[in-house]
Amino acid sequence: MRTIAEINDKILNGKATVWTIEELKAKVKKLGIKKTYEKVDVICTGTFEPMESSGAILNLGHTDPPMKIRKCWLDGVPAYAGFGAVDLYLGATALSDYGSANDYDNISSNTPEKGGSHVIESLISGKSVTIKAIGQVTDCYPRASFESSITVDMINQFYLYNPRNLYQNFIVGVNGGDRTLYTYLGPLLPRLGNAVYSSTGAMSPLLNDPNLEVIGIGSKIFLGGAQGMIVWEGTQHFPLQKRLPNDTPIGPASTLALIGDAKKMTREWVRGCYFKNYGPSLMLGVGIPFPVLNEKIIEHCAVEDEDIVAPVVDFSIPRRVRPSFGLVNYAQLKHGKIKIEGQTVRVASIASMYLGRQVAETLKKWILDGNFTLSEPVAPLPVDRTFVSQDGVI
């Protein structure tokens, strides 16, 4: 058994052995669990994929005279202003209401391809963003409106707070209907014309800690090119999902709520994107370092793509619980073709394996350079959450 304090001491003294998750898996094949455990201190995981339940908290600073913002647009995208005075939350999927300050009064000129994620990317890139705010006039906040432009250096706080990131496994989307469907996985072609998934498989962080025994609330992570933190369970956190004997879930399971200083992030790892006829989302690089405290951690991290499965879900049935064509493993998915009822179906991923590797490599370098140490969780993540749905009358 090791402790995080012991590993941090090795990191700060330049003596820690740090591997990416792919390097670890290769070592296990060669050396086995026990010998691999003896050689490594930290394992770095990473992914780069759409994470639409994301957004940014901003504090603009007070105007003179001061105002209490009740409606606000950043580059034409509405930001939530139901906080105190000049605090805002800009959701990644918020749709643009208007294209520029010149056509604010013509809401029909909206640009749906642009959303909150693109404004977040612009600010991180150092670009200027227009702001239009309408105030609730009070005795202490007499200003009624404000229009200007801001950059990241002109605001007090700018940090990502993402209520649901880093799904522990997900689904494979297909379309058994007779028309193209536009979804959060991108276009799904009719008559099983394609299949799309969103995971880096055996590289994905939470699939290597299936029971959430290594990470917890307070664990430091790589988030958008800066240091971030796990702050809570994510929304729709469902650790009670059915699992294989290796403890990996057979579908969407645990999720994380993440936070990090967007002023320190880089555009390389935080990018606005748009899914045709669906809406905007945020492509985000996230990496989690695992301290190697015992052999069980190595055993879980040794899982391979062929050992992890995901359900093939038919989006042509517009119901909460859609029919499934069964389970496929990630080795099959990464091969680029799967069989569904005897039909060969092309497969693509909207998660980037290449950039996921780069996240893990970057995190590894930070640790080897002594610029990133590990943190003890202040509390465990819950492992007993059920999944509640709504069944109101239509």
Environment class of 231 (CB within 10 Å of its CB; exposed 0-12, middle 13-18, buried 19+): middle
* Alpha carbon distance 164, 224 (integer Å): 15
Cis amide linkage into residue 65, ω under 30° from 0: yes
Of residues 44, 72, 140, 301, which has the active-site annotation? 140
State which amino acid sits at residue 42.
V
- The residue among 253, 207, 256 whose CA lies nearest residue 229 is 256
* Alpha carbon distance 288, 374 (integer Å): 10
* Alpha carbon distance 313, 322 (integer Å): 6
State which amino acid sits at residue 19.
W
Q: Is 273 a catalytic residue?
A: no
Buried b vs exposed e over 59-82: b needs ≥16 C-beta within 10 Å?
bbeebeeebbbeebbbbbbbbbbe
- The residue among 276, 252, 391, 390 whose CA lies nearest residue 324 is 252
Determine which helix (DSSP H) or strand (DSSP E) holds 285, and give its type and residue range. Answer: strand 279-287
- The residue among 263, 292, 324 whose CA lies nearest residue 4 is 292
| Alpha helices (H) along the chain | 4-12, 21-31, 33-39, 116-124, 295-301, 330-335, 353-368
Residues 6+ apart with CB under 8 A from 73: 79, 97, 98, 104, 130, 131, 132, 133
Tell me the catalytic residues.
140
